[in-house]
Amino acid sequence: MTDSFVPSKPRLRAELRVSAAGAAELHTSGGVLDVEPPDGMTQDDFVRLLSHLDGSTTVETLASENGIEDSLVREVVAPAVVWGLVDDGAVPRASSGLAVLSRLEEVFNRQLEDLIFSGPFWQAVLERPETVHHNVFYGFGLENWFFLFRENEFDAAVLALAENAEMRAMLNGFYHEEHRHDDIVVRAFRPLGVGKDDLLRARPLPTTSGLIKLLSWWARTDPMFFLATIGILEGRLDSDTVGANGQIAYDSFLSACDRVGVDADFVGPMREHARVNAGHDHASVSRELFALVPGVDEDTERRWIAKTHLFMEAYAEFFNGILDYYADPRRPLLRSVEF
């Protein structure tokens, strides 16, 4: 029998009594069980070992204190676990979900500065928007549409997350709030003569696809890490700025659009989506979800921290890919697929 499930600090869930004849009895609410030592163990050693299963001592210490091999302790404890007579007294080593998320966010925020805001796209949009071809602004809208249209690829993958019922309900709420956000943004492309049918025949940049596929993979293989990225993906750089037109800018991109006078019919629906997003406070989704997570172990936290850089590189590529492609006005706005 494999004994890999033996608790680190076994705790007997039954009352141990010794009969007049010296036999061990385990008294439970369901009845009395007569138990016998395995081969190679005396009755006295067996009773002494059972009496020490109080959930405060490790298997290794139990073995050395009782002068027996670890394997013999496991041989006694493993069948008792199977019968539901032993649980674990060890205190789980874990940090609260929010504590882990705040450490992750610290890393994310540093990477946002190092990889995203200092990268070519955001440097151009934030520092010298007047030098940026308007197609880059439109391209940002288009690639965001591709992302939103495919968002169900990753959001749907976490709907059945079994972590707990409250979290599942929250994820369902988020999914419904996100549903058809692409239809808000699609209206932004009317001034470009681009409708939904045209978009359906077009393909995103490889850098946009890369981000979508990476998130889809994580949503399926490491869903909690994916949930940690939502706060970044939904977060706005700057939620209070009033743009040049006197409207709330909602984010730095819209503020730059205002500064350089990008077509108002394009900016309006983009602002509408940002307003809806801010209204639902989607930048806080990760925190609300992680507040429901009772504990995260150290190895898991380390694994998530190790993944942050790849996520942020893919996110940086999403932005920089837009500048790379759309800055050349000879290139078509839509990369249509011919069937």
Q: Does 181 bind Fe ion (CB under 5 A)?
A: yes
Give the CA distances from residue 314 to residues 9, 63, 103, 208, in Å, rounded to whole numbers and listed in that order: 43, 51, 21, 9
* Nearest to Fe ion of 105, 234 (CB atom): 234
CB of 180 to Fe ion, least distance (A): 9
| Closer CB to Fe ion, 231 or 321, in the complex | 231
In the complex with Fe ion, which residue's Cβ is closer, 57 or 277? 277
Residue 273 C-beta: closest distance to Fe ion, Å = 6
Binding mask 234-263 for Fe ion (x = CB under 5 A): x-----------------------------
Q: In angstroms, what is the minimal distance from the CB of 31 to Fe ion?
A: 56
Contact between 282 and Fe ion per CB under 5 A: yes
Name residue 12's beta-bridge partners: 86
Q: Which is nearer to Fe ion, 57 or 144 (CB)?
A: 144
In whole angstroms, the minimum distance from the beta carbon of 159 to Fe ion comes to 16
Which strands form 15-18's sheet, in the order they lie side by side? 15-18, 24-28, 31-35
Shortest CB 239 distance to Fe ion, Å: 13
* Window of 62-70, 112-120, 172-180, 207-215 that interacts with Fe ion by CB under 5 A: 172-180
The alpha-carbon radius of gyration of the chain (Å, integer) is 29
If binding is defined by CB under 5 A, does position 286 make contact with Fe ion? no
Amino acid at 128: R
Crossing angle (nearest 10°) for helices 298-326 and 134-149: 140
Count residues contacting Fe ion (CB under 5 A)?
Answer: 5
Give CA angle at 30 (28, 33), nearest 5°.
Answer: 60
Site string for Fe ion, 208-237 (x = CB under 5 A): --------------------------x---
Smallest distance from Fe ion to CB 156, Å: 15
Query: If residue 233 lies in a helix (H) or strand (E), which one and from where to where?
Result: helix 223-234
Query: At its nearest, how many Å lie between Fe ion and the CB of residue 148?
Result: 6
Q: What is the DSSP string of 148-206?
A: HHTHHHHHGGGTT--S-HHHHHHHHHHHHHHTTHHHHHGGGGGGGT--HHHHHTB---H
Span from 64-72, 92-100, 214-222, 275-283 in contact with Fe ion (CB under 5 A): 275-283
Evaluate whether 36 touches 2 at the Cβ level (below 8 Å).
no
Binding piece for Fe ion, criterion CB under 5 A, among 65-73, 74-82, 180-188, 241-249: 180-188
The per-residue DSSP string of 25-76 comes to EEEETTEEEEE-PPTT--HHHHHHHHHT-BSSS-HHHHHHHTTS-HHHHHHH
Contacts with Fe ion by CB under 5 A lie at: 178, 181, 234, 277, 282
